[in-house]
Amino acid sequence: MSSLREECGVFGVYCKESYDVARMTYYGLFALQHRGQESCGIVVNDDGLFNTYRDLGLVNEVFTADKIDALGLGNMAVGHVRYGTTGNSGRVNAQPIVVNHIKGRMALAHNGNLTNSFELRSELELKGSIFHTTADTEVISYIVTEERLSAPTIEEAVNRAMNRIKGAYSLVIMSPAKLIAARDENGFRPLCYGETPDGRYVVASESCALDAVGARFIRDIEPGEILVFDKNGIRSIKDHCNKQPMKLCVFEYVYFARPDSVIDGACVHEARLRAGAYLSLEHPVQADVVIGVPDSGLDAAVGYSRQSGIPYEIGFIKNKYIARTFIAPGQSSREDKVRIKLNPISSVVKGKRIVLIDDSIVRGTTSARIVALLREAGAKEIHMRISAPPFLNPCYYGTDIDSRENLIACHHSVDEIAKIIGADSLGYLSIDSVKKIACGVNGKGYCTACFDGEYPTEVPKNTHKNRFEEKISSNK
């Protein structure tokens, strides 16, 4: 874990008539690729028949033209891009999950992490449920299916399931007749919907995916809300709304989301500009140039430059054909990718005092390599500034930080970390400032537990990423 790993992206589309929803979903997933690069999948509803394809790899690698054509036409589709925060990275854990039960079919895509998945899975297994994956998404599908046996509708089954599942979840669920979107009561992960000019409804993790398919953003789905799309239009169920304080993951603004997305009323690009400006006020330094680490450090670097008056320059050229470094399994693979992913522009950094802006430091290995690249290019001084506070605590809501063991800030002071990564100085954004970067999400709240340890929910007892694999192994 040399840097922060992200979670997943979900996408869904509902049409009243048959349409090329597979291709439309492909474009939506392509726009959400930054949220997960491990695996992806699409399920198309063709008059009650679910056509499915899932595999490991990037969207454009998995879904060739032939694969998209094979999915056929339909009036609904659900799609998913994954980086696993629970369960291993095998093909079996690719989503969406498809369930065939006595009352019909269901396809489900999930972004987030349940905090009670271990207990729920144990309870289901004792009833005879057989699990094919080791991801908590399958737990959600079982709970919804179990509730559907007695519920009059699929949306009521989802409503009842939300009384049982705890933690972070943004869901897109498809039945033969309905598309359903649901967001957990705290709103940990984003979810929004829009409409195309010809009347097709689209649900996505981020508004950038709506833009990619020509849909007009309508609004974010509220924490605890269930939206139902069917032949009668749209219905909202708010039985779970306003039961818990809003706790959107603040790292959506710092890192996860694309800069052109708008989440819960706040522009991600503007939030990162503010983060850089606050960082300049909190950690000023005499320097010649400000540069950002592509991509998520660039906006904050511009904000730092504007506030400080130090010129901003493009300091690195990024190889656009290399995926996000930390997605690659294995430390040596990640370090190799750092070398070919970023190349400093020597004329910008040679002999200069550099302010280097990045979004986070997890273990410190990637930061050390980036600093070393600048040294090799002739930088005179390197003052690293991070547009988020130090990571001190595990995340249980969909970010792959499952223990304090790999967090460098848990074991070293700021000055010690600066020496470890080779920087002349190091400064982190304060917790107070990070809470203000998106203007308080229109007055609502953030989850900052990974920084301050103030968890909005009960802390789960079984938290290891591969807990289900370990449970299976122990039962052999």
Tell me if residue 249 is catalytic: no
- CB burial of residue 435 (10 Å; 0-12, 13-18, 19+): middle
Name which of 15, 56, 11 is nearest 209 in CA terms.
11
Token code pair at residue 266: 């706040």
**DSSP H/E element including 386:** strand 381-386
Using alpha carbons, list the distances in angstroms from residue 388 to 110, 249, 251, 273.
Answer: 26, 12, 8, 12
Instruction: Return the number of other C-beta atoms located less than 10 Å from residue 9's C-beta.
Output: 32
Q: How far apart are CA 67 and CA 390, in angstroms?
A: 43
Instruction: Return the number of other C-beta atoms located less than 10 Å from residue 69's C-beta.
Output: 12
Q: How far apart are CA 464 and CA 442, in angstroms?
A: 34
Q: How far apart are CA 449 and CA 466, in angstroms?
A: 22
Q: Which of 8, 208, 395, 447 is catalytic?
A: 8
Using alpha carbons, list the distances in angstroms from residue 52 to 1, 78, 95, 227.
Answer: 32, 10, 10, 23
Contact 187, 223 (CB under 8 A): yes
Using alpha carbons, list the distances in angstroms from residue 143 to 101, 114, 214.
Answer: 12, 12, 34
Q: How far apart are CA 319 and CA 456, in angstroms?
A: 39
Q: How far apart are CA 59 and CA 43, in angstroms?
A: 14
45: Cα separation from own chain's centroid: 26
Task: Give me the active site residues, please.
Answer: 8
